[in-house]
Amino acid sequence: MGKNSKENISTDNNFKNDSNMLVKPGNKVNLNVFDTNYTANFKDKDDAAEMLEKDIKRLSELQDMLYAMNKYSILIVFQAMDAAGKDGTIKHVMTGINPQGCVVSSFKQPSVEELEHDFLWRINKAMPRKGMISIFNRSHYEEVLVTRVHPEYILNQNLPGIDTIELINEKFWESRFNMINNFEKMAYDNGTIIIKFFLHVSKKEQKERFLARIEEPEKNWKFSAGDVKERQNWDKYMEAFENAIENTSTDYAPWYIIPADKKWFMRAAVGDIIVGTLENLDLTYPKLSSSEINELVAAKDQLLNE
């Protein structure tokens, strides 16, 4: 993929297939060629906000049909470096949906119980049931991102044949990618539609957001000294993201690399991709049989004659 271009971009549910963000299966990924300041052909922030408002309204309608139809479920995965805007994006994009039909899960350091199972065990428990939307704020991809930068964490999983860091090699990671792809394919074949977002923030922008968290009292609670320490591994994380995305972006579970330096664009793009994906499902409300319609008519008559 080359540098992001503003040509042939529409603000009407076309981000789903935007080659500036969608990673096609088999493509190599070089994050250096993705412009973190890319804003497509939006004139300004208000222009993007107008589209997001329309998409939020449409998402509410689509979610209602998704729930009623009870045939599909939706899994939305967010991965990013710290301060890229995962929480804010979830808050703004999903603001109009019915909370009863949506669950947000966050996966951080595995518990003792979780370490006693395979790395997908805790993920499988959080997968959405039919009619539901599940959002993963970090996900099973932590197992090929954080653990790739810190392979010593793998030793805590007490895996057969993996007794030293030296044994955690390319073959090991290839096996993990295969496990993830097979897991996601099984979910897809059973009606779970998967959308994966990497919110791509620049190192410069992350620094500014960290400083804002330190300097603005109302943001102090967001800051962790550990985030700055982990920032020293920036290049290793970029390489891990590239490797994970190019090995696990599939037709059934695509990755989108979303420019994240402009939060207003990031949120608009994410919202539009989600709506575009749901639009493709041809969601409808269940159609009643003739006997069920007769029951409705009888019930109506009974109510009117009380």
Asked whether the predicted pLDDT for residue 44 surpasses 90, the reply is no
Task: Report the domain count for the chain.
Answer: 1
Tell whether 48 is covered by a domain. yes
**Mean pLDDT to the nearest integer, 233-240:** 98
- pTM, rounded to two decimals: 0.92
Tell whether 50 is covered by a domain. yes
Q: φ and ψ at 267, to 5 degrees?
A: -70, -40
Q: What is the CATH number of the domain that holds 202?
A: 3.40.50.300
**pLDDT at res. 61:** 96
- In tens, the pLDDT along 192-226 reads 999 999 999 999 999 999 999 999 888 898 888 88
Least confident of 32-36, 96-100, 152-156: 96-100
Supply the mean pLDDT for the chain: 93
**Mean pLDDT to the nearest integer, 138-154:** 97
CA dist., res. 265 & res. 89, Å (int): 10
CA dist., res. 122 & res. 124, Å (int): 6
Tell whether 4 is covered by a domain. no
Tell whether 37 is covered by a domain. yes
Q: Give the CA distances from residue 283 to residues 61, 72, 97, 273, 275, in Å, rounded to whole numbers and listed in that order.
A: 10, 9, 16, 16, 12
Tell whether 1 is covered by a domain. no
Tell whether 7 is covered by a domain. no
Tell whether 8 is covered by a domain. no
The answer to whether 266 and 259 are in contact (CB under 8 A) is yes
Q: Which domain holds residue 85?
A: 15-304
